[in-house]
Amino acid sequence: MKEKILRTSKNGMTVLLLCLVLEALSVTAFVFSVLYEAVLPIVLTAILMSIVWMPLIGLRILKPEEALVVTLFGNYVGTLKGPGFYAINPFSVSVNPARKTRLGQSGDVDSGGKASLAQFLTAAEAASMSSGNIISLKIMTLNNSRQKVNDVLGNPVEIGVAVMWRVVDTAKAVFTVDNYKEYLSLQCDTAVRNIVKVYPYDVAPNVDTTGDGLADDGSLRGSTEVVARRIREEIQGKVEQAGLEIIDARITYLAYAPEIAAVMLQRQQASAVIDARKMIVDGAVGMVQMALEKLNTEGIVELDDERKAAMVSNLLVVLCGNHDAQPVVNSGSLY
């Protein structure tokens, strides 16, 4: 179903004033008819008083970036867009199946903002004009709840995403799916699961995340921009038929599941210690080599293989140790 934009004139104030004037005239005519005991005028003015307020039911107020899907006797008539005070067919009904749905997102429209108009009407008339079925066209943010998903290595990971979206086709949003907000939330859940299970949490060997058959360095922790883009594209492909546009998607939370977080932390610490030790050893070997070459070049002392081995051992102990060295002064010979 394609969206049809109603080109209705913004004549709501004219209709309101005209109804108020007709109501006042009909009341005045009814009073005079009663005073003069004219039966036919009494009946006519009573009927006029009963129906003159009916056009007020068709009054609608829209603010910027709001829309109203209008149906008449079950048929889709069109969509009102643009700010203004409109008067439509009083028998028309506005439709928004997701108006009561709250998913922890910003921008949900309520039925407020009608106090200035309601003061001219009765309570029943004001209630009939309620615009609670307004559809917001603003960019909204859906903070989906955290999910526990297994990554490509089978490790449980908790991840949360924020999706920026908006309605671009009101007819599809209202008539194609039952509830476009719940539909969007469900598609976010499935898209996150489909994408996360392709990546490891951290860089792992022999893992193909791009689908080209070659191992790469992609990971959830190191490739957040790529993962977020793939999540956005996955969601967009699913919700396009519902008239929604996904502006952006961002990962708001990423961590190992609590049951393995402590073990993975120990693993990361061990890996960091090994990398640090490797760097220390590489640096120490280089310093020992530099010291031996310096001693040999300057001719400060002649060292045989045994003395070189002892010196290398002492320097490595000093340079690779966790604690400060405790020097021992040898005042005698090495032999």
Based on the domain organization, do 244 and 316 belong to the same domain?
Answer: no
Q: What is the span of the domain harbouring residue 267?
A: 262-320
Confidence at residue 31, expressed as pLDDT on a 0 to 100 scale: 80
Based on the domain organization, do 252 and 266 belong to the same domain?
Answer: no
Q: Looking at residue 203, which CATH number applies to its domain?
A: 3.30.479.30
Confidence at residue 117, expressed as pLDDT on a 0 to 100 scale: 36
The HSE-up count of residue 249 (CA atoms within 13 Å, CB side) is 27
Based on the domain organization, do 172 and 58 belong to the same domain?
Answer: no
Task: Please check whether residue 119 is in contact with residue 19, taking contact to mean a CB–CB distance below 8 angstroms.
Answer: no
Confidence at residue 120, expressed as pLDDT on a 0 to 100 scale: 37
Confidence at residue 239, expressed as pLDDT on a 0 to 100 scale: 92
Burial of 41 (0-12, 13-18, 19+ CB in 10 A): middle
Based on the domain organization, do 153 and 130 belong to the same domain?
Answer: no
pLDDT < 50: residue spans in the chain: 106-130
Based on the domain organization, do 21 and 128 belong to the same domain?
Answer: yes
Q: How many CB atoms lie within 10 A of CB 222?
A: 15
Confidence at residue 237, expressed as pLDDT on a 0 to 100 scale: 92
Task: Please check whether residue 334 is in contact with residue 307, taking contact to mean a CB–CB distance below 8 angstroms.
Answer: yes
Based on the domain organization, do 207 and 312 belong to the same domain?
Answer: no
Number of domain units in the chain: 3
Domain assignment present for 306: yes
Confidence at residue 246, expressed as pLDDT on a 0 to 100 scale: 93
Q: How many CB atoms lie within 10 A of CB 285?
A: 15
Which one, of 61, 63, 22, lies nearest residue 44 by Cα? 22
- Cα 321 from chain centre: 50
Confidence at residue 263, expressed as pLDDT on a 0 to 100 scale: 64
